[in-house]
Amino acid sequence: MMNKRSALARRIVEEINEIARAIGREVRIMDICGTHEDTINRGGIREILPRNIHLFAGPGCPVCITPVEDIAAMMKIAEQKDMIVTTFGDMYRIPTPRGSFSDFRARGYDVRVVYSIYDAYRLALKNDRLVVHFSPGFETTTAPTAGILSEVVERKIENFRIYSVHRLTPPAVEYLLKEGTRIDALITPGHVSAIIGVRGWRYLTENYGIPQVISGFDPLDVLLSILMLLKMIQEGRKDIENEYSRVVEEDGNIEAQEKIERFFTVRDAKWRALGIIPKSGLYLRDEYQWLDIRSEIDAPAMELPDLEAGCRCGEILRGLALPDECPLFGRVCTPSTPVGPCMVSSEGTCSVFYKYRKRGMGAMENGG
Amino acid sequence: MMCLAIPGKVIKICGSTAIIDYGGVRREARIDFVPDVKVGDYVIVHTGFAIEILKEKDALESINAWMEVLGGNDE
């Protein structure tokens, strides 16, 4: 097995080197998925690429870009009525000027970490108290939310609500392109694509001329995707190709899309440290507004600073800097003493870089 | 809420949930979005929901197939 893997890796890397040499110029490839970034770091992929091929990370961490105002508003709401607040483990520890959900729990409020919105829903079934799920995530996580909401409606469950901070990924890439982040090619997230299909990304290639490859999560998947992107660049093709065809279909998961469409409508929305991104936020439709806790209890509008002074999470999310370019990284800011959201979430670029920083060069040696 | 890259094998289906086996570790997952799923299928699960059925369970198989399509140097 290992031999087969190494032989494949060597073959892909050799071809990458050959094509990179032929291209000659600098190529900037962006990924926008925390798990891809993990794969890249785990496989030492940055280190084995030719010098003119640069990988950088975009906003692939949904809890990192969840607005501080929403986290603070959720806490304000929970102060006004007895409830159990549920959210994911990463979200629980995200710092804000008003503290994290973890700090909120330390103040005596009932906040619980769940692995799935299904767990939050089951908590509501076994409980008379109100359960409110603070619900971040991209398309892949929005589908489960819509699935559970469907059951809440059908079974007339009265003590379950959400606070949606769901976001769409393609509009964020479009925003970065318009704002001037240079992206020559995109490693397109595999599991967002499982939901929205190849189809959901095609407009970025058609409108902006960006070659894309939808990629799986094995280091070999990512290496192969880089090779496929470089081949397109060498040949001057602007296409979207699907390396992860063992999972992703052209049309995506129609059942999931229909559920999302049934409950959610798209509006402009804030991304922490990035600003307002047009048509990027998912909000409940008017007829399902009652499923959002904000329809019942309102929190005062507030404006809070996104990041502490010196934190470069914003530039990192825009693909303008890598963590080791931040003076706080690994010194003041570590996973046990995080300054910004990118160091907290396991999907955050800083957290991923920190996790693998003590490792040497990748196991796959440079063929060129 | 990271993407779980490892496929799990469906070993039991009951209503809208299934028991998924990850090489001995078993987890429950909702199967709302994979209505055609059968026992023995491999699925990708994200935050407790199966989001897709795998067409090939072995990543290497599909990567190898891609390399044939790309027609690189053979070793």
Query: Where is the domain boundary, A222, A251, A280?
Result: A251
**Are residues A184 and A56 part of one domain?**
yes
The tally of domains found in chain A comes to 3
**Are residues A143 and A273 part of one domain?**
yes
Provide, rounded to the nearest whole percent, the portion of chain B with pLDDT above 90.
Answer: 60
- Residue A21 phi, psi (nearest 5): -65, -45
In this structure, is residue A314 part of a structural domain? no
**Are residues A265 and A244 part of one domain?**
no
Burial B42-54 (b: 16+ CB within 10 A, else e): bbbbbbbbbbbbb
The enclosing domain of A97 has a CATH number of 3.40.50.11740
**Are residues A77 and A161 part of one domain?**
yes
The enclosing domain of A16 has a CATH number of 3.40.50.11750
In this structure, is residue A315 part of a structural domain? no
In this structure, is residue A107 part of a structural domain? yes
Beta bridge partner(s), residue B19: B12, B28
Candidates B30, B41, B52, B64, partner chain A, best to mutate (most A CBs within 10 A): B52
**Are residues A102 and A184 part of one domain?**
no
Among chain B residues, CA nearest to A248: B52
Indicate yes or no: CB of A144 within 8 angstroms of CB of B49: yes
**Are residues A281 and A137 part of one domain?**
yes
Q: How far apart are CA A212 and CA B53, in angstroms?
A: 23
pLDDT at B58: 77
**Are residues A175 and A150 part of one domain?**
no
- CB of B27 within 8 Å of a chain A CB? The answer is no
In this structure, is residue A137 part of a structural domain? yes
**Are residues A178 and A41 part of one domain?**
yes
- CB of A38 within 8 Å of a chain B CB? The answer is yes
Q: Hey, what are A127's tokens?
A: 């409980």
Q: How far apart are CA A110 and CA A112, in angstroms?
A: 7
Closest-CA distance of chain B to residue A35, Å: 6
- Residue A304 phi, psi (nearest 5): -125, 150
Beta bridge partner(s), residue A135: A164
**Are residues A205 and A105 part of one domain?**
no
Domain B8-70 CATH (choose: 2.30.30.40, 2.30.30.140, 2.70.98.20, 3.40.605.10):
2.30.30.140
**Are residues A158 and A125 part of one domain?**
yes
**Are residues A289 and A144 part of one domain?**
yes
Beta bridge partner(s), residue A264: A284
Per-residue pLDDT of chain A (368 residues; tens, 9 = 90+): 568 889 999 999 999 999 999 999 999 999 999 999 999 999 999 999 999 999 999 999 999 999 999 999 999 999 999 999 999 999 999 999 999 999 999 999 999 999 999 999 999 999 999 999 999 999 999 999 999 999 999 999 999 999 999 999 999 999 999 999 999 999 999 999 999 999 999 999 999 999 999 999 999 999 999 999 999 999 999 999 999 999 999 999 999 999 999 999 999 999 999 999 999 999 999 999 999 999 999 888 888 999 999 999 999 999 999 999 999 999 999 999 999 999 999 899 999 999 998 654 444 433 32
DSSP A167: B
Q: Give the structural domain span for A267.
A: 68-167+255-295
Q: Hey, what are B57's tokens?
A: 């369970």
Among chain A residues, CA nearest to B35: A255
Determine contact, residues B32/B43, Cβ cutoff 8 Å.
no
**Are residues A123 and A56 part of one domain?**
no
In this structure, is residue A302 part of a structural domain? no
